[in-house]
Amino acid sequence: MTGAVESLLVALRHGYYFSTIGSLFSFLLAPAAAYAVAGVLVGGALALVLVIFTRSLQRAALLSLALCVPFFIFLFWGATLDGRFFGTVGNAVGHIAMVAAAVSAFVLIRRFFSAERRMSARPAVLASIVLLAVCLVVAVASLPHGSSASVAAAAATGSPEEDGVRPNILLVTLDTVRADRTGYSGYSSRLGPRADGLGITPRLDGLAARGAVFTNAIVPEVVTDPSHASLLTAVPPWEHGVVRNAMPLGEEVPVLAEALAGVGYSTAAFVSVEHLDGHISHLSRGFRLYADRGWADRYRHHVGGRVLEGHAPTLFEHERGAAETAALAARWLETRDEPFFAWVHIFDPHMPYVNHETGRVFSFEERENLIASVTDGEEGAFAGAAVDAYDSEVRFADDGLGVLLDALERAGSLGSTVVVVTSDHGEHMQEPRARPENWFAHVEPYDEVCRVPLVMAGPGITRDLWIERQVSSMDIAPTVLELAGVAARLGGRPGLAALIAAGADGDAGAIAGGSSAGGVDEASPPAEPLVVLANPHRGIDHRAVRDGRWKVIERGGLPVEVYDLANDPDERVNLIHSTSDVLTRLGPVLSRTPKPEGFSSAEDADAELDPALREMLEALGYVQ
Q: For residues 480 and 495, is the Cβ–Cβ distance under 8 A?
A: yes
Please tell me the predicted confidence (pLDDT) of residue 65: 67
Name the helix (H) or strand (E) containing 553: strand 550-555
Q: For residues 267 and 257, is the Cβ–Cβ distance under 8 A?
A: yes
- Stretch 279-304: mean pLDDT: 64
> Three-state DSSP class for 571?
coil
Does the pLDDT value for residue 129 go beyond 60? yes
Average pLDDT, the chain: 76
> Three-state DSSP class for 212?
strand
- Report the distance separating Cα 383 and Cα 392, nearest Å: 14
Please tell me the predicted confidence (pLDDT) of residue 12: 58
Provide the pLDDT confidence category of residue 580 given band limits of 50, 70 and 90: confident
Please tell me the predicted confidence (pLDDT) of residue 131: 66
- Percent residues over pLDDT 90 in the chain: 33
Please tell me the predicted confidence (pLDDT) of residue 492: 81
- The answer for residues whose C-beta is within 8 angstroms of residue 286's C-beta and 6 or more apart is 255, 256, 257, 258, 259, 260, 261, 267
Out of 10-24, 174-188, 525-539, which region has the weakest mean confidence (pLDDT)? Answer: 10-24
Structure confidence by residue, pLDDT tens digits, 247-258: 889 888 999 999
Please tell me the predicted confidence (pLDDT) of residue 94: 61
Out of 287-296, 401-410, 584-593, which region has the weakest mean confidence (pLDDT)? Answer: 287-296
- Report the distance separating Cα 117 and Cα 111, nearest Å: 7
Q: Tell which wins on pLDDT, 310 or 382.
A: 382
- Stretch 42-55: mean pLDDT: 76
Please tell me the predicted confidence (pLDDT) of residue 431: 85
Q: Is the peptide bond before 254 cis (omega within 30 degrees of 0)?
A: no
User: Domain map of the chain by residue range?
Assistant: 2-144
Structure confidence by residue, pLDDT tens digits, 254-271: 999 999 999 989 999 999
Out of 128-132, 149-153, 518-522, 535-539, which region has the weakest mean confidence (pLDDT)? Answer: 149-153
Please tell me the predicted confidence (pLDDT) of residue 381: 53
- Report the distance separating Cα 482 and Cα 479, nearest Å: 5
Does the pLDDT value for residue 210 go beyond 90? yes
Provide the pLDDT confidence category of residue 432 given band limits of 50, 70 and 90: confident
Please tell me the predicted confidence (pLDDT) of residue 207: 96
**Range with the largest mean pLDDT of 331-335, 420-424, 604-608:** 420-424
Helix ranges (H only) for 423-549 are 447-450, 476-483, 497-500
Does the pLDDT value for residue 303 go beyond 70? no
Q: What is the pTM of this model?
A: 0.73
Please tell me the predicted confidence (pLDDT) of residue 4: 66
- Stretch 30-50: mean pLDDT: 75
Q: Tell which wins on pLDDT, 469 or 363.
A: 469
Please tell me the predicted confidence (pLDDT) of residue 152: 28
- Stretch 61-79: mean pLDDT: 63
- Report the distance separating Cα 236 and Cα 54, nearest Å: 61
Q: For residues 406 and 328, is the Cβ–Cβ distance under 8 A?
A: no
Query: Which DSSP letter does residue 14 get?
Result: T
Please tell me the predicted confidence (pLDDT) of residue 165: 81
Please tell me the predicted confidence (pLDDT) of residue 96: 67
